[in-house]
A and B are shown apart, each in its own frame.
Chain A
Amino acid sequence: MHELSIVMGIIGIAEKQAVIAHASVVEEIELDIGTLAGIDMDSLDFAWTQAVKNTVLHGAEKKINMITARAQCLNCDTEFEIQNYYDACPLCNSHLLNIKQGKELRVKSLLVS
């Protein structure tokens, strides 16, 4: 249940940014989350509802950009989508992969007023 720690991290970032911008309300928060970031979305939503109470993110709309993981085969250079770290290259069946994207876990932007 590390998702609660993650939500607390997001709240911390949002509150700092809101103070800098002299904003009182965060209307929307945009997050980039890769499919290999290790985040269970149901747990994140559950933790979110509880954790944002009495914070600047209370009432903010949460917009999530899911980033599909992609890897490049180190054997034959094929680039392809992966669901798991242990997926094999669809062309040559190799497991020697370089993960190109999908581990993102960041606050992309805030809409404040």
Chain B
Amino acid sequence: MCATCGCDSGSKTTFHLIDKNEDHSHPHTHDHSHDHEHPHGHEHPHDHSHAAVHNHNHAPKKTIIDVEQDVLSQNNLLAQRNRGYFDAKNILALNLVSSPGSGKTSLLERTLTDLKGDLEFAVIEGDQQTNNDADRIHATGTKVTQINTGKGCHLDAHMILHALQGMKPVENSVLFIENVGNLVCPAMFDLGERERVVIISVTEGDDKPLKYPDMFHSSTLCIINKIDLLPYVPFDIEKVKANAKKVNHHLEIIELSCTSGEGLPLWYNWLKTKVLQPVTI
């Protein structure tokens, strides 16, 4: 069973680097299962050198170990390795999170097309199954790796590390990591990103930030997508913004529609500013 993405016994995470020059991709699998060491060796340190005629019945010695270790420490360590790699190469890594269907992939397609020539991009796609999203990204001419988590409900730092080994994003670029569509589990797993971008669309409920506060609390930018549909849906945009701010008062908010193009310049400016911004630790 996988220790970091362990949603299923024996499940395997697969990585597909979609190759620009060839029609087929090269899937490779990393078995994330970790062997558990079982300390079955009973050491009996009580050697009696004296000729004992009486029987000692030593109960096993009990010891308290002060561990004080974060349960996610292994993931967080790997995330910091990824972060160091990104910082050294001045790669702006963004972790895009949302529920399924909010328009993450559409926003990426539009962004990659509109900013082609302005910025360098690479994309990591996370889904349980299929290369569909990676194929859509590949069609824009962008370097992309698809991670299939199998039954896994989130990406973790370990998977990103492996995906990076295959794709080698260039310096001074933007790396979009599109997480598995899920507003719960990905909130807990740092991938090493510089910014976490939560996307919500106006066809969802305006109380979503209150229903899934962990995700909105851990994000730095909130994109409200599909605003071209506002006249047709009972979605109170001021209310969703107020709710998001209640959960996280640091959260920046950008409203846009990747269909009509409204608001996209704000998002593009945000990206360009962040790429130029020196990393501060």
The answer to whether A and B interact is yes
A contact set with B: CB distance below 8 Å: 1-2, 4-6, 8-13, 15-19, 21-25, 27, 31, 36, 38, 51, 54-56, 84-86, 88, 95-97, 105-113
Known pairs A11-B36, A22-B43, A25-B60; A106 contacts B68 (CB<8 A): yes
* B39 interface contact, C-beta 8 A: yes
Q: Which B residues are in CB contact (< 8 Å) with A4?
A: 6-7
* B38 interface contact, C-beta 8 A: yes
Interchain Cβ contacts under 8 Å between A and B, 8 examples: A1-B153, A4-B7, A5-B156, A8-B4, A9-B3, A15-B37, A86-B210, A86-B247
Q: Which A residues are in CB contact (< 8 Å) with B68?
A: 106-109
Central interface residue in B65, B68, B73, by most chain A CB within 10 Å: B65
- Within the complex, the shortest CB–CB distance from B45 to chain A, in Å, comes to 9
Known pairs A15-B36, A24-B39; A9 contacts B247 (CB<8 A): no
Interface residues of B in 23-80 (CB under 8 A from A): 34, 36-43, 60-75
Q: Which of B120-128, B161-169, B180-188, B191-199 forms part of the interface with chain A?
A: B180-188
Q: List the B residue with the shortest CB-CB distance to A11.
A: B36
Known pairs A4-B7, A5-B5; A10 contacts B71 (CB<8 A): yes
The A interface, classified by DSSP as helix, strand, loop or mixed, is mixed
Q: Are B153 and A2 in contact (CB under 8 A)?
A: yes
Q: List the A residue with the shortest CB-CB distance to B2.
A: A8
Known pairs A4-B7, A24-B41; A105 contacts B248 (CB<8 A): no
Known pairs A1-B7, A86-B210, A109-B64; A22 contacts B217 (CB<8 A): no
* B214 interface contact, C-beta 8 A: yes
Q: Are B6 and A56 in contact (CB under 8 A)?
A: no
Complex CA distance for A52 and B58, rounded to whole angstroms? 28
Q: Are B187 and A27 in contact (CB under 8 A)?
A: no
Q: Are B67 and A24 in contact (CB under 8 A)?
A: no
Complex CA distance for A24 and B243, rounded to whole angstroms? 50
Interface residues of B in 189-222 (CB under 8 A from A): 189, 209-210, 213-214, 216-217
Complex CA distance for A1 and B36, rounded to whole angstroms? 22
Q: Are A106 and B70 in contact (CB under 8 A)?
A: yes
Other than the known A6-B71, A15-B37, A112-B63, what 6 A-B pairs have Cβ atoms closer than 8 Å? A2-B184, A5-B156, A24-B40, A85-B247, A107-B69, A108-B67
* B83 interface contact, C-beta 8 A: no
Query: Ordered nearest first, which 7 A-B pairs have the shortest CB separation?
Result: A2-B185, A86-B246, A113-B60, A85-B213, A8-B6, A8-B3, A107-B67
* B154 interface contact, C-beta 8 A: yes
Known pairs A2-B185, A107-B69, A111-B62; A12 contacts B245 (CB<8 A): no
* B249 interface contact, C-beta 8 A: yes
Q: List the A residue with the shortest CB-CB distance to B213.
A: A85
Q: Which B residues are in CB contact (< 8 Å) with A110?
A: 64-65, 67
Q: Are A13 and B69 in contact (CB under 8 A)?
A: yes
Q: Which B residues are in CB contact (< 8 Å) with A97?
A: 249
Complex CA distance for A88 and B210, rounded to whole angstroms? 13
- Within the complex, the shortest CB–CB distance from B196 to chain A, in Å, comes to 14
Q: List the B residue with the shortest CB-CB distance to A30.
A: B67
Q: Are B1 and A51 in contact (CB under 8 A)?
A: yes
